[in-house]
Structure 1
Amino acid sequence: MARPKPVITIPSGPDYGCSSFQHFVDSASWRPHQGPNSSLSDSGFPATTSLPFSKISGKTENCQCTVMAFLRYSGKYNQVIMSVPRPFLFIVSGLPGTGKTTFARALAAALEACHLNSDAIRTELGLRGVYSPAIKQKVYQTLLHRTETHLRAGEVVVVDATFYREELRQPYLALADRLGVLWQWIELTAAEGVIRERIAEPRPDSEANFATYQLVKRQYEPLLLPHLQLSTTDPPIDALVQLTLNHWRALTSNS
């Protein structure tokens, strides 16, 4: 008989945020002896509970990372998600409107990975609408720091940002090299007409409009490092995720 898939339950509520979840993890109230009516797998870990992501407000991506860290701390990460041979870094780059966040979120979901997004970090830091070089550097440095934290925890991490300049790209490669982590760089493209339509629609964290796209396009430095380039103009996101996963499996199986 297949072992029940262990998942987690936490108290739910309309304002159940990341800090509350972190407190829940730190309090160790998830342990089996705390819930006499819990259904347990043969490993002694709760088997029939659920984590209400829909109830988590605020920094959803950071919450997802916290969940992954908790599962690894519990010792049941590989049972809950999948066997990952090592930490792995996916970096998703491209011009505004190419679908970076949509793709990165789908890729992270497929791998139950940690997804980190530059626009969400900018919003979290209260820096929306401020695009000076110093502020951009602060956003990318925060993104880099969080990437390192989750890689050191042994997680698969999906980072998405424009990465329009080489000087913004190199620190992530240096980080992967320093930690001995394999990486895959993915550059997304799309037809300009499609991009114009996409960025005309409001998006939760992105402030980019077509003028922003045109400005970044002029400043965008060619990506010269080895990378997988995917067009999001026509193919469904699921197909692009599958292409990426096939390449990822080839990289990890041959390493």
Structure 2
Amino acid sequence: MLIVFSGLPGTGKSSIARKLASELKAVWLRIDSIEQAIRESGVVSGSLNDAGYRAAYAVAQDNLSLGLSVVADSVNPWMLTRNAWRGVGLRSNVAVLEVETVCSDKEEHRRRIEARASDIAGLKLPNWQAVLERDYQPWDRDHLQVDTAKRSIADCVALIQAQL
């Protein structure tokens, strides 16, 4: 199974994806970790473009071919990236669950952005203004939307597991 997360920074994607992957004993692929490793390698100067996503697609497909479940954790902001993730699942002949995290309480979302610290060395997190300006396109197909406002991580994970 491939479980693909999507959502703006600060909506709880990584916290939920990490816990879900742990409970399922699945591979957790976090774009932030991959992109930061690419930056630190010095191979790419400037924009990474889609390098992190492309690396994650390949690693996901490798792990799916071994029969492992994969939890993909990224902003996944466009239908282009969402379709690419879906393509990984289709090529691997596995079920794909697409999960979008949202935080409907704007003050709570802002508080999360302003209070959080990066758990990835060297990763610069976006501020609230950058989150508001993010190019995040609406979905055009069915997917599971999880509103994380006033919900615990465990409750969000349970909602997702109920769909598996």
Gaps of 5+ in 1: 1-87, 249-255
Q: How does 1:141-152 map to 2 (within 5 A)?
A: 141-152=54-65
Provide the residue aligned with 1:138 in structure 2.
51
Change (3 A) 1:155 1:247: same
Provide the residue aligned with 1:176 in structure 2.
89
Provide the residue aligned with 1:166 in structure 2.
79
| Segments of 4+ moved more than 6 angstroms | none
**Greater RCO (CA < 8 Å, at least 6 residues apart):** 2
Aligned partner of residue 126 in structure 1, secondary structure: helix
Aligned partner of residue 145 in structure 2, secondary structure: strand
TM-score, normalised with respect to structure 2: 0.89
Provide the residue aligned with 2:119 in structure 1.
204
Identity %: 27
- Report the RMSD for the aligned CA atoms in angstroms: 1.7
Gaps of 5+ in 2: none
Change (3 A) 1:172 1:202: same
How far, CA to CA, are the matches of 1:159 and 1:143 in structure 2?
8
Count of paired positions: 156
Provide the residue aligned with 1:20 in structure 2.
none
How far, CA to CA, are the matches of 1:211 and 1:101 in structure 2?
20
How many Å apart are 1:122 and its aligned residue?
1.1
How many Å apart are 1:178 and its aligned residue?
1.6
Provide the residue aligned with 1:73 in structure 2.
none
Aligned partner of residue 107 in structure 1, secondary structure: helix
**Residue of structure 1 aligned with 2:140, choices 224, 231, 246:** 224
How many Å apart are 1:245 and its aligned residue?
0.9
How many Å apart are 1:131 and its aligned residue?
6.9
The one-letter amino acid of 2:108's match is V
Provide the residue aligned with 1:239 in structure 2.
155
Aligned partner of residue 174 in structure 1, secondary structure: helix
Aligned partner of residue 151 in structure 2, secondary structure: coil
